[in-house]
Structure 1
Amino acid sequence: MIFSANLQRSTDSAHQTQTNIAVDKCSMASRNENYTILVMSAAVLLMADVNKKKRRQRRWWRTNLFKKRSGTEILMDLKSQEISGQYKNFTRMTPTDFENLLQRIGPHISKQETYFRTEISAQDRLAVTLRFLATGDSYTSLQYLFRISKQSIGRVVPQVCAALIEELQGYIKLPNTPTAWKQVSKIFETRWNLPHCVGALYGKHVVLQAPVKSGTEFFNYKSNFSIVLFALVDGDYNFMFADVGCQGRISDGGVFKASKLYQQLTENRLGLPTPEELEECSMQIPYFFAGDSAFALSENLMKPYTGDFPKGTPQRIFNYRLSRGRRIVENAFGISSAVFRVLRKPMHLEPAKAEWVILTVILLHNYLRKHSPNIYTPFGTLDYEVNGNLTEGSWRNQGDMTSMVPIRNIPRRPTNYCTKVRDEIANYFINNGALEWQDQYA
């Protein structure tokens, strides 16, 4: 019994010891866990403190440079001597056109006044945007002229461009009825002796600064980063259609096919007139666009013959007539880039913002062509002919458009029908449509 009792006590003691050991292990595990959590928390706080950027203490709420806006004063001084032409040179338009634009977009770009600082007026916002479009200067350069910080200018320019696009979008319109297209064709026939032509096509790569993390998406064949500006112009130097934003990496043959104009053309949604006969032609001639060698010959797109042809041949005269009509779109591009020189410099903007800038220039071109044609494009600015002799416009003396790269020419095999249409038009120029005093210069 004594042995049994001692044995029982020993067993109870052993159980108690095991229980104590288990409790100690649990307590130790709990302490280790708490210690681990504490160490990890300390590490996280330490890393957060290390990675936390030290906020630079502001030395001034605003520097003296920005305490007084000078944009309004500049415009008032320039307007007081409008006859000098400095106001037009500064804003690229007359005070009347400027005020008209300001009234239209003023409610969209005006900001509410606060107690913190004086808000940038709508007039200054429009002025700094027009000056940026006119010169292509950097935001840093403009901040010293208008006393507006470059950060604010970086927000103002896209906002004003978006407002201008919204208000002026009605100035670029594509005809959608056969009657409207025939009115366009009449201008090309009477002024440029190119019947059945309903517009001139052209495309350019607008050079950008390399977009961040874009890879080769905007990388073109000229080893530049660019987006494509593709446009259709009528016989009076006005843009009827503009497609902006096609990436520069897309093959040049696919620029036209990637545009909305091509989609509407293939789906017969443009409303072009049905083909009609020219005098003593053996077939009906469709209405067509005039393009250069970068485009593929098709039923509704005529391009020049390739090669050198003897003087007086149908091919030579056809190329001469087509180039006269196609010169319209070259002048439209040249004038817009000569006046708004932001197109002549590589844009240090994101592709989306660059699209807004380019489209704004196109709309302003049409706006000024309608409201102030004699001031925007005075005599001698555009190409003109006298008795067949070409006199180049003054815009060609503004220097090469180094930031606007032409579309590369790619040979393509046209269909037999398209070739026959072009040959019929060429024969028409030789026979009934001949102009001796002009075609002799071909």
Structure 2
Amino acid sequence: AACFFSKMAEEGALQPLMFLLLYMMRKRRSDLNNANTERMNESHRRIRLRQYFMQKQKQDISTNSPSSSTTPNTAADTKSNDWWERVVINEFQPQDWLEKFRMSKDTFFHICDKLKPKLSRQDTHLRPALPLEKRVAVALWRLATNVEYRTISVLFGVGRSTVCKCVREVCHAIVSLLKPQYLRQPNEQDFENIVRVFNARWGFPHCAGAIDSLHISIIAPPQYNVDYWNNKCWHSVVVQGVVDGLGQFWDVCAGFPGSTEDVTILQNSNLWAMASEGGLFPDPPKAFMGKPLKYLLLGDAAYPLQDWLLKSYSESEGLSKSQLNFNYRLNRAHSVIENAFLRLKARWQCLLKRNDCSLDLIPTMILACCILHNICEVHNDHFNEEWLEAIGQTEFPQPADPVPESMDNPSAEEVRQLLCDYFESQDES
């Protein structure tokens, strides 16, 4: 009888676990079915869109006059010019500009004006030059939607090679002309402003930025297939970014293969060299809690602990109350770059979906998107929260590469303890 009741007790204890496992298996099956359905719907939507544009193009060609047969592109150019000049320029409402180009009309023409030195073209005796504004619009449409060149070609009435050329030229022009103004290393006064905003907005003092990395899905060339294969089993390039307290980038390093660990990217970047040489901090360091302290960057477990780069205490340790409080404060402040990457991908979906551009262009495209992100943030262009819904449907989980504690700088532990003492004193007061 004792054995019988003991067996019944064991079965009773296992029953909740069995129900939990059964629930998790059913939820996993449901998630997979939903993901497959969404992928199929997206594929069907793209096919319908492509068929629509191809059908429209055939109709336009069939209705041309006989005299246009010697110049096949004339009708398409006429229609596209009519669509661009009459519909977009004159009839687009503010919401249309925001949805199609991810920015306001004023910001769009501000960018066009800034890019004139590199993108201005003269008409030739063979054909008129494509207007600068139209070339910028072609490029921004590609960056915002990541649709195929063929679709954009039909929409704007230009050849696919022209679309490709516009994207390449506009991205390079943005990096060349706008990076010095909108994505540059802060000077001493800028750093003081960043530190003040970080403390006021996120409650973390002496902080000059948050650092993190983002993997961008690509189609890797066969000869580099292994190099770009990350630990989540998809091909990618990595972008390392640093943002201020408002979520605007002030340092970006893009183009490393997906198999590269975050710590390797950091140690091979200009940021590491400048920080090691003291170029990122005032000399002498500002006083904090009665001690000289360098400005700080906030990272996660993928980065080594330094006297200028902090991360949370490992959760596996037996943490004190002040250490847990430090982790909470740091993680909350570090979320500013996580939010910045979310807004970056949602606004410029060439970074969200698999990018099929040539490998040599992708780093420039990433950098151009970061600059455009800053421009939109500086100009207070509205961000549509509905854009974030597309991120939840992505198939590309971000890799994580925690570094071993042996790579941490032992002297940096004093800095973490100093911040622990500061937050504890703040809570007590």
**Alignment of 1:341 onto 2:383:** no
Letter in 2 for 1:427: D
**Alignment of 1:427 onto 2:405:** no
1:109-258 correspondence to structure 2 within 5 Å: 109-169=119-179, 170-177=181-188, 179-258=189-268
| Whole-angstrom CA distance in 2 between matches of 1:418 and 1:274 | 18
| Whole-angstrom CA distance in 1 between matches of 2:284 and 2:334 | 22
Select which of 297, 303, 310 maps to 1:302. Answer: 310
Q: CA deviation at 1:68?
A: 2.6
The alignment-based identity, stated in percent, is: 25
Q: Deviations over 1:6-57 (max 9, x none)?
A: xxxxxxxxxxxxxxxxxxxxxxxxxxxxxxxxxxxxxxxxxxxxxxxxxxxx
| Whole-angstrom CA distance in 1 between matches of 2:350 and 2:187 | 32
Q: CA deviation at 1:402?
A: 4.2
Q: CA deviation at 1:274?
A: 4.0
1:263 aligned residue: 273
Q: CA deviation at 1:292?
A: 0.9
**Alignment of 1:408 onto 2:419:** no
| Whole-angstrom CA distance in 2 between matches of 1:333 and 1:146 | 30
Q: CA-atom RMSD, angstroms?
A: 2.7
| Whole-angstrom CA distance in 2 between matches of 1:310 and 1:419 | 16
Kindly tell me: are residues 111 and 308 of structure 1, through their superposed partners in 2, closer, same or farther at Cα, counting changes over 3 Å? Answer: same
| Whole-angstrom CA distance in 2 between matches of 1:71 and 1:418 | 61
| Whole-angstrom CA distance in 2 between matches of 1:404 and 1:355 | 20
Aligned to 2:111, the other structure's residue is in SS state: helix
CA contact (8 A) 2:232 2:397 kept: no
CA contact (8 A) 1:202 1:291 kept: yes
TM-score normalised per structure 1? 0.74
1:321 aligned residue: 329
**How many residues end up aligned between the 2 structures?**
358
Q: CA deviation at 1:200?
A: 0.5
Kindly tell me: are residues 396 and 412 of structure 1, through their superposed partners in 2, closer, same or farther at Cα, counting changes over 3 Å? Answer: farther
1:32-43 correspondence to structure 2 within 5 Å: none
1:267-286 correspondence to structure 2 within 5 Å: 267-272=277-282, 274-279=284-289, 284-286=292-294
Letter in 2 for 1:202: D
1:81-96 correspondence to structure 2 within 5 Å: 81-83=91-93, 85-96=95-106
Kindly tell me: are residues 78 and 275 of structure 1, through their superposed partners in 2, closer, same or farther at Cα, counting changes over 3 Å? Answer: same
Task: Show structure 1 runs of 4+ deviating over 6 A.
Answer: 308-312
2:40 aligned residue: none
CA contact (8 A) 2:146 2:349 kept: yes
2:26 aligned residue: none
Q: CA deviation at 1:216?
A: 2.8
1:399 aligned residue: 391
| Whole-angstrom CA distance in 2 between matches of 1:315 and 1:396 | 33
Aligned to 1:269, the other structure's residue is in SS state: coil
| Whole-angstrom CA distance in 2 between matches of 1:253 and 1:405 | 16
Letter in 2 for 1:174: Q
1:6 aligned residue: none
Letter in 1 for 2:427: A
CA contact (8 A) 1:228 1:244 kept: yes
Kindly tell me: are residues 87 and 396 of structure 1, through their superposed partners in 2, closer, same or farther at Cα, counting changes over 3 Å? Answer: closer
| Whole-angstrom CA distance in 2 between matches of 1:356 and 1:265 | 24
Q: CA deviation at 1:253?
A: 2.6
* Larger displacement relative to structure 2 (61-70 or 331-340): 61-70
Q: Deviations over 1:335-372 (max 9, x none)?
A: 1111111111111112220111111111111112112x
| Whole-angstrom CA distance in 1 between matches of 2:387 and 2:302 | 23
The answer for unaligned runs of 5 or more in structure 1 is 1-58, 382-393, 437-442
Q: Deviations over 1:86-127 (max 9, x none)?
A: 122111122211222222223522333234344322222111
Letter in 1 for 2:401: R
Q: Deviations over 1:400-440 (max 9, x none)?
A: 35457344223232233212221221122112x2289xxxx
| Whole-angstrom CA distance in 1 between matches of 2:215 and 2:292 | 36
Aligned to 1:264, the other structure's residue is in SS state: helix
